[in-house]
Every structure is written in C-alpha cells, then in structure tokens.
C-alpha cells in the first residue's frame, strides 16, 4: 500500500502574535479527528538541543554573539532535525510547525544583513505546503503577557522583522491570518486553511526552500 505523504504546515508571525497557541489548537483539532499528526507542534528554535541551548542563552541576554554566527546556529538548529522531519512526512504524518526558516531570515535581515545571504543557509530545507502568517497590530502584540522579556521583543525590531516577512510571502503557499479576534475565531480561520491544503496534497514530494 502506498502511504500518502503528510503535510508540512508552518505558523509564522511576530512575537506574541498567538501562533504558538494556534499551532497547539491545530494539532488537537487534527488529532481529535483521527488524522495522522505529530502529538505536539514542532517549535523552532528547539531550545532542547546543544545548538538550541546556545541560541537560548543569546535570546535571554545571557550571552552575546556575532549576528552571522547566530544566524548559522538558528539555521543549524533546523538542519539538525531535517532527517526526522522528512521521515515523518514520508510516513504520512503531518507536522505542524511553530516558526521555521521564514523567521530565520526575517529576524537576521531585520538587523541589516543581506537578505540573500540569510536565505542561503536554509536553502534546500523542505518547503512547507502552507505558511499561516498570524498578523496582529504590533501595539496589541506588545501589550500581551511578557513582551519585552527577550532580546528581540522591542517595537523597533518587530517593525523591521515585519518588513522582511512581507518580502518573503509567495502566492503559492502564504496565507495571511487575521490574529486579532478571540482564540477560537482565529482557530477557525487556521483550520479552514489547513483542511483545504491537506485535502489537496498529492503524491508529489515536498519541494525545497529557496531554490
Ligand atoms: P519563540 O520561542 O517563538 O518566542 O522565538 C524566540 C525568538 O527568536 C523570537 O524573538 C523570534 C526569534 N527567532 C526565531 N527563529 C529565529 C531564527 O531562525 N533566527 C533569528 N535570528 N531569530 C529567530
């Protein structure tokens, strides 16, 4: 029997846009229906690995680092998990991902580093079937919870990051989700897109990023 491959669905957005909550809700909704989906969203940076721990100490202001070196670590943090990712998808499991290479490029290029250099490091990673970009007015995001507790959580930085995100959107797989409603309303918008995208997955293997 040929197993249809799983989907790769990425949630992106600025800090405190609600994407982590939405990623979890997507996994629960799909699992409830008996879909073959990972038990928890994948999250980048994955702070549990050795590389992830170095990234985390930068983000929490415990260590400083050259911007390009840091960028390579974020990218390596994705590459170190790519075999497992491909394996899951090939076996029919859908992976819901909380941030991916789009954050990778946006947060570094926001500091003024050349966009094409930033993209190169993630070139060849599996390309997602859909990127759900959860958008929220910056002032609202900044008023949420612990905004300000980590390195990039300043209005100035987030404004620059948003400008780069906007450059990365492509008509084939980019879905803008209005994240300003209540959690359930936003979830309805997300699951609608995901149902549609997963319903259309063919036997074509995943593409690769930024070829
Ligand atoms: P999160 O755990 O989703 O809150 O992400 C932590 C912070 O790291 C957040 O400010 C976004 C930023 N970030 C996520 N991925 C990358 C990346 O690949 N490169 C850079 N430079 N920053 C990233």
pLDDT digits (tens, 9 = 90+) for 162-196: 999 999 999 999 999 999 999 999 999 999 999 99
- What pLDDT shows up at residue 82? 98
Ligand 1 neighbourhood includes 152 CB (under 6 angstroms): yes
Q: Is 76 helix (H, G, I), strand (E, B) or coil?
A: helix
- What pLDDT shows up at residue 85? 98
pLDDT digits (tens, 9 = 90+) for 54-78: 999 999 999 999 999 999 999 999 9
Query: Ligand 1 mean position to 79 CA, how many Å?
Result: 15
Count of positions (residues) in the chain = 211
pLDDT lower than 70: segments of the chain: 1-2
- What pLDDT shows up at residue 141? 92
Ligand 1 neighbourhood includes 73 CB (under 6 angstroms): no
Mean pLDDT of the residues in the chain: 96
Q: Is 148 left (phi over 0), alpha (psi -120 to 50) or beta?
A: left
- What pLDDT shows up at residue 1? 62
Q: What are phi and psi of 83, to 5 degrees?
A: -65, -45
Ligand 1 neighbourhood includes 201 CB (under 6 angstroms): no
Instruction: Tell me how far the alpha carbon of residue 209 is from its chain's centroid.
Output: 13
Q: Is 9 left (phi over 0), alpha (psi -120 to 50) or beta?
A: beta
For residue 14, the 8-state DSSP code is S
């Amino acid at each position: 029997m040929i197993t249809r491959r799983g989907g790769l669905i990425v949630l992106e957005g600025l800090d405190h846009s609600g994407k982590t909550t939405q990623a979890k809700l997507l996994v629960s909704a799909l699992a409830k229906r008996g879909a073959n989906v990972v038990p928890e969203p994948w999250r980048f940076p994955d702070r549990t690995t050795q590389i992830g721990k170095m990234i985390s100490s930068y983000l929490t202001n415990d260590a400083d680092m050259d911007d390009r070196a840091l960028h390579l670590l974020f990218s390596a943090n994705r590459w170190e998990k790519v075999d497992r990712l491909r394996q899951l998808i090939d076996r029919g499991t859908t992976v819901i991902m909380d941030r991916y290479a789009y954050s990778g490029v946006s947060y570094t290029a926001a500091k003024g580093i050349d966009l094409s250099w930033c993209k190169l490091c993630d070139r060849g990673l599996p390309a997602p079937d859909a990127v759900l970009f959860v958008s929220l007015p910056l002032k609202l995001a900044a008023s949420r919870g612990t905004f300000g507790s980590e390195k990039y959580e300043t209005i100035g930085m987030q404004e620059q990051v948003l400008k780069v995100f906007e450059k990365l959107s492509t008509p084939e797989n980019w879905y803008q989700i209005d994240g300003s409603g209540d959690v359930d309303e936003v979830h309805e918008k997300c699951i609608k897109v995901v149902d549609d995208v997963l319903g259309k997955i063919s036997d074509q293997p995943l593409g690769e990023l930024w070829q």
